Amino acid sequence: MTILVTGGAGFIGSNFVLDWLARSDEPVIDLDRLTYAGNLENLRSLAGDPRHIFVRGDIGDFDLVATLLAEHRPRAIINFAAESHVDRSIHGPEDFIQTNIVGTYRLLEAARGYWNALPEADKAAFRFLHVSTDEVYGSLGPDDPPFSENNRYEPNSPYSASKAASDHLVRAWHHTYGLPVLTTNCSNNYGPYQFPEKLIPLMIVNALAGKPLPVYGDGLNVRDWLYVKDHCAAIRVVLARGRVGETYNIGGWNEKTNLEIVRIVCRLLDERRPRPDGASHASLITFVKDRPGHDRRYAIDATKIARELGWRPAETFETGIEKTVAWYLDHPDWVAHVQSGAYREWIGRHYGE
């Protein structure tokens, strides 16, 4: 048996692949275009491991995906590949439309062609798991209940609109063609290998470099934070036991304002890597212009996945953020390579491109 993972060189995808192969000998075909966010250094520990078959390519390349499916005959596709950064989607939505909408459409079509031709037993067992976001539900007021799977879709950014569109395509491919799909909508992840354009790693690397810590607006926007390995565990559970055609919300039951997050990161860095001048890293906090259309609050009601599938996060925010800060402190080379662009040279050396 084999699974096909897309976007497996990105933040969550690489954590998923590493965790999968730490638990199982079932091979992973890893299809990733290696955009700026894809980083094969995340998967360095798998070098030479025959269970990890890396293919550089685009989910929107129908012929490539069809060939991979025919060749490796996976029992499941787990689609992580996406443009994922809200700020980039505001500056340039085109890539988000291409990968998140057109790419998902072509991947679904290739999957449908492959699935249709499978023998009945394999056809029944096949799964297409689409990894999505809580941002499709829009923004909550301070007293609103957290997002359940029944909330209306009200995406507000080009990123969340493109993810919402992809979720709708996945749903339609199930209802119209019978493709056995599962969709997960998860809250903000943090942990090892997160590209330092996202809040938590950006704050860590800036603080270590003595640079300003840019907090948008008043810093009181709320996100629900989940340690990435808990997200990966939830995806494994949904893949194994989720009901076909259903969506599952995944979250950490952990709402915090951005300012709280930044202050916790600063406190941990003060303990582990005090500044030479003795000042707190929090003295670097700088309020900057807000993100246009900035959603005020996200929160996930993860009752359904707990009730139906027995999944709950293993980490609290306190344990998860300690591990995360420790990981960044322990991996200065990874940080330096990502920041300098040297990781692309590594890819070139490794693949001769």
Contacts with ligand DAU, residue ranges (CB under 6 A): 84-86, 133-135, 187-188, 198-199, 202, 214-216, 221, 223, 258, 291, 298
CA torsion 156→339→31→345, rounded to 10°?
150
Q: Which amino acid is at 311?
A: W
Q: What is d(CA 219, CA 318) in angstroms, rounded to the nearest whole number?
A: 20
CA atoms within 13 A on the CB side of 344: 8
Contact criterion met (CB below 8 Å) for 11 and 37:
yes
Of 71 and 87, the one with the shorter C-beta distance to ligand DAU is: 87
Q: Which is nearer to ligand NAD, 126 or 159 (CB)?
A: 159
Cβ atoms of residues 205 and 339 within 8 Å:
yes
Active-site residue, selected from the candidate residues 105, 114, 137, 159: 159
* Least distance between ligand NAD and beta carbon 275 (Å): 29
Tell the smallest beta-carbon distance from residue 30 to ligand DAU (Å). 19
Burial 132-159 (b: 16+ CB within 10 A, else e): bbbbbbbbbeeeeebbebebeeebbbbb
Q: Annotated catalytic, 135?
A: yes
Looking at the Cβ atoms of 62 and 195, the one nearer to ligand DAU is: 195
- Residue from 41, 135, 255, 315 carrying the catalytic annotation: 135
In the set 30, 32, 83, 134, the catalytic residue is 134
199 binds, among ligand NAD, ligand DAU, none (CB under 5 to 8 A by kind): ligand DAU
Q: Catalytic: 134?
A: yes
Question: Cβ 81 to ligand NAD, closest distance in Å?
Answer: 4
- DSSP SS3 for 50: coil
- Based on CB atoms, which residue is closest to ligand NAD, 14 or 206? 14
Nearest to 317 by CA among 235, 272, 256, 271: 256
Applying CB under 6 A, which residues contact ligand NAD? Answer: 6-7, 9-13, 31-35, 37-38, 58-60, 80-84, 99, 103, 131, 133, 163, 186, 188-189, 195
| Token couple for 233 | 């565990």
Residue 307, classed as helix, strand or coil, is helix
Measured from the CB atom, the residue of 15 and 188 that comes closer to ligand DAU is 188
Catalytic annotation present for 159: yes
Least Å from the CB of residue 347 to ligand NAD: 11
The one-letter code for the residue type at 263 is R
CB of residue 250 vs ligand NAD: minimum separation in angstroms?
8
Q: What are phi and psi of 184, to 5 degrees?
A: -120, 135
Q: Which is nearer to ligand DAU, 135 or 255 (CB)?
A: 135
What is the 8-class DSSP label of residue 79?
E
Find the residue with minimal CB distance to ligand DAU: 133
Q: From ligand NAD, ligand DAU, none, which one binds at residue 41 (CB under 5 to 8 Å depending on kind)? A: none
Nearest to 133 by CA among 183, 206, 64: 183
At residue 214, the 3 state secondary structure works out as: strand
Minimum distance, C-beta of residue 21 to ligand DAU, in the bound complex (Å): 24
288 contact partners, CB below 8 Å, separation of at least 6:
214, 215, 216
> Residue 73 touches which of ligand DAU, ligand NAD, none (CB < 5 to 8 A by kind)?
none
What gap in Å lies between CA 321 and CA 201, rounded to an integer? 11
Catalytic sites, residue numbers: 134-135, 159
